[in-house]
């Protein structure tokens, strides 16, 4: 059998899609080929579950290890890793949790997982050291304002939720989780620092809407509603912008 066919059958066997590879597995000591295949399956699932637990450690703490391991196994078998780099695995886990009937009354669980995935992406983001040139900004003419496009550093990601995930996250970090009403929206920017820590920057709804449109490369003249422009100084004060261009110069 060709190697690629053998690898395909082994991958499918790990995911319980078939047992065709069983005939290629040699019995060892007291273990049958079927028992060895089950060992490989369990080892695979456990290894990937451990990787998920690293990314979603706070989600795990909310649901407990037993429940987490069960749903992680379901997720892995339905959406297995597609590449060798296990570090990048786990996208879509929050959507998977959101669709579980057991968690329908606990929406903050899936939202915490979505937040943790964004934390992971932010920690792997490239750092840009360029700062916003305030002196150059001061030379921009009033008539050029509408065609200005600001840049958001690559180490910044935006998060918004109808659940107060920032408050819940802080409770977990402080080890002071207590029953509370989380049904209040939260808006924040996650910013990777030079020491690789992640700063959580609290935003108002208006600040979030403005920086979200800016991050989508919209000129200030395209920002809606127009009165969001008044929050531009707040974004500068929070160091969420690192440059700008004027469209006519492009």
- Tens of pLDDT, residue by residue over 156-170, are 999 999 999 999 999
**Residues 93 and 196 reside in one and the same domain:** no
Range of the domain at 189: 127-250
By 3-state DSSP, what share of the chain in percent is helix, strand and coil, each rounded to 5? 55, 10, 35
The number of distinct structural domains making up the chain is 2
User: What are the angstrom distances between the C-alpha of 88 and each of 5, 48, 75, 78, 216?
Assistant: 25, 11, 15, 17, 24
pLDDT for residue 1 is more than 50 = no
DSSP secondary structure letter of residue 225: S
Alpha-carbon torsion, ordered 48, 49, 51, 53, to 10 deg: 170
User: Any residues with CB less than 8 A from the CB of 89 and at least 6 apart, and which?
Assistant: 48, 51, 52, 81, 83
More confident residue, 145 or 177: 145
- Read off the pTM: 0.85
Question: Cis ω on the peptide bond leading into residue 225 (within 30° of 0)?
Answer: yes
Give the confidence band of 45 by pLDDT, cuts at 50, 70, 90. Answer: confident
CB 201 within 8 A of CB 241: no
Give the confidence band of 177 by pLDDT, cuts at 50, 70, 90. Answer: confident
Sign, CA torsion 202/206/211/216: positive
pLDDT for residue 33 is more than 70 = no
**Residues 45 and 155 reside in one and the same domain:** no
Domain boundary among 124, 142, 177: 124
pLDDT for residue 145 is more than 80 = yes
**Residues 112 and 131 reside in one and the same domain:** no
Output the average pLDDT for the chain.
86
**Residues 10 and 112 reside in one and the same domain:** yes
User: What are the angstrom distances between the C-alpha of 172 and each of 64, 67, 180?
Assistant: 13, 18, 13
CB 248 within 8 A of CB 147: yes
Neighbour order of strands in the sheet with 186-192: 156-161, 186-192, 198-202
CB 96 within 8 A of CB 71: yes
**Residues 249 and 131 reside in one and the same domain:** yes
Rounded Cα–Cα distance for residues 20 and 12 (Å): 9
**Residues 47 and 71 reside in one and the same domain:** yes
Which residue from 48, 72, 47 is spatially nearest to 59, judged by alpha carbons?
Answer: 72
Rounded Cα–Cα distance for residues 160 and 212 (Å): 10
pLDDT for residue 26 is more than 90 = no
**Residues 111 and 155 reside in one and the same domain:** no
**Residues 171 and 145 reside in one and the same domain:** yes
CA 53 from centre of chain: 14
**Residues 98 and 187 reside in one and the same domain:** no
Give the pLDDT mean for 214-242: 95
Domain boundary among 97, 124, 151: 124
**Residues 111 and 148 reside in one and the same domain:** no
Which residue from 111, 116, 120 is spatially nearest to 164, judged by alpha carbons?
Answer: 111
- Write out pLDDT tens, residues 51-97: 999 999 999 999 999 999 999 999 998 888 877 777 778 999 999 99
DSSP secondary structure letter of residue 236: H
Say what angle helices 33-55 and 107-123 make with each other, to 10 degrees: 80
Domain boundary among 65, 97, 124: 124
């Amino acid at each position: 059998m060709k190697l690629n066919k053998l690898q395909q059958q082994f991958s499918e066997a790990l995911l319980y899609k078939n047992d065709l590879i069983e005939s290629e597995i040699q019995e060892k000591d007291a273990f049958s080929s079927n028992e060895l295949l089950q060992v490989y399956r369990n080892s695979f699932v456990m290894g990937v579950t451990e990787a998920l637990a690293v990314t979603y450690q706070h989600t795990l703490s909310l649901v407990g290890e037993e429940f987490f391991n069960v749903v992680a196994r379901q997720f892995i078998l339905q959406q297995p890793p597609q590449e060798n780099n296990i570090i990048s695995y786990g996208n879509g886990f929050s959507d998977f949790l959101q669709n579980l009937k057991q968690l329908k009354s606990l929406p903050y669980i899936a939202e915490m997982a979505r937040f943790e995935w964004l934390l992971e992406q932010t920690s792997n983001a490239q750092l840009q050291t360029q700062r916003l040139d305030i002196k150059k900004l001061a030379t921009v003419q009033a008539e050029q304002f509408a065609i200005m496009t600001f840049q958001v550093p690559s180490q910044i990601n935006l998060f918004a939720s109808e659940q107060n995930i920032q408050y819940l996250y802080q409770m977990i970090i402080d080890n002071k989780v207590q029953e509370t009403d989380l049904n209040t929206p939260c808006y924040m920017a996650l910013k990777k620092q030079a020491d690789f820590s992640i700063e959580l920057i609290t935003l108002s709804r208006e600040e979030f809407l403005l920086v979200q449109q800016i991050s989508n490369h919209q000129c200030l003249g395209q920002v809606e509603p127009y009165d969001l422009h008044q929050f531009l100084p707040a974004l500068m004060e929070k160091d969420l912008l690192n440059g700008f261009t004027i469209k006519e110069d492009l």
